[in-house]
Structure 1
Amino acid sequence: MADLRHALGELGEKLAARYLENKGYRILESRFTNSRGYRLGEIDIVASSEGKIVFVEVKTRKTSLDKPVFPEEAITREKLRRLERISASYLREKRLLEKSYGFDAVLVCYDAAAKTAKIRHIQDMFL
């Protein structure tokens, strides 16, 4: 079960990266962890858009005909706090403290039977 969840998450991150690239974002890194490893967490995607660094949280869920799916429910306050901490670490490590930055979410609902995905992009999720 964990392997399937992991594979679905990887698929969602690939779809999200492709979606962002099609929207003009440049992908800088995927699955960034600070130099201390997973202690602070992980950033799914680090991108740049219009001179701004964008830290992207990706949430992927399988859709089902009988039950609506809301990937954004998995973005908790604790997850957002962790994202802020690891993002600060990224900016320090890459010496980008002077750059403007923001936080986006990409929500992927994947229909395995149809092999299609619906993607929603929430920009500047802390505003």
Structure 2
Amino acid sequence: MGELLAKNLLLDEGYDIIEENFTCRLGEIDLIATRGDELIFTEVKTRLSDSFGRPAEAVDRKKKLHLINSANYYIKTNPTLEQMKIRFTVVEIMVNHMTDVF
């Protein structure tokens, strides 16, 4: 659910999605997009509550290293993208179902 919402958000903001759920031996990247001369690697984090903090807080040092290494691998296997500016983003999805509010 979260990745579909994130994909639609990025499309609405003018991004072109070129890859979804890219997986290699170094890790996984939820969405890879382009916009203009930028290549954007996006991690999607979804939470049903904020009991454990905001979704983006789950992107710790280890996850960042996996994203960077996976992105480098992706670029090396797609040399036409090597000259693009690289950017990493996180899309947070928070679901809050409020019952019996009135």
Q: TM-score, normalised by structure 1?
A: 0.71
**Residue of structure 1 aligned with 2:17, choices 4, 23, 27:** 27
**Residue of structure 2 aligned with 1:89, choices 73, 94, 102:** 73
Displacement of 1:63 after TM fit? 2.9
Aligned to 2:55: 71
Unaligned 5+ segments in structure 2 are none
Displacement of 1:68 after TM fit? 7.8
Aligned to 1:104: 89
Provide runs of 4+ in structure 1 moved above 2 Å.
111-114
Q: Name the amino acid aligned to 1:24.
A: G
Displacement of 1:110 after TM fit? 1.6
Kindly tell me the number of residue pairs found equivalent between the two proteins: 98
**Residue of structure 1 aligned with 2:33, choices 34, 47, 55:** 47
Is 1:60 matched up with 2:46? yes
In the superposition, relative to structure 1, how do residues 107 and 93 fare at CA in structure 2: closer, same or farther (>3 Å)?
Answer: same
How much identity, in percent, do the aligned residues show?
35
**Relative contact order: is structure 1 or structure 2 higher (C-alpha 8 Å, sep ≥ 6)?**
2
* CA offsets 1:49-107 (integer angstroms, 9 cap, x no match): 1221000011000137xx58511120100100110000000001111222211101100
Contact 1:62/1:69, CA 8 A, preserved across alignment = no
* Distance in 2 (alpha carbons) for counterparts of 1:16 and 1:73: 17
Q: TM-score, normalised by structure 2?
A: 0.87
* Distance in 2 (alpha carbons) for counterparts of 1:28 and 1:113: 36
Unaligned 5+ segments in structure 1 are 1-10, 115-127
* Distance in 2 (alpha carbons) for counterparts of 1:23 and 1:56: 14
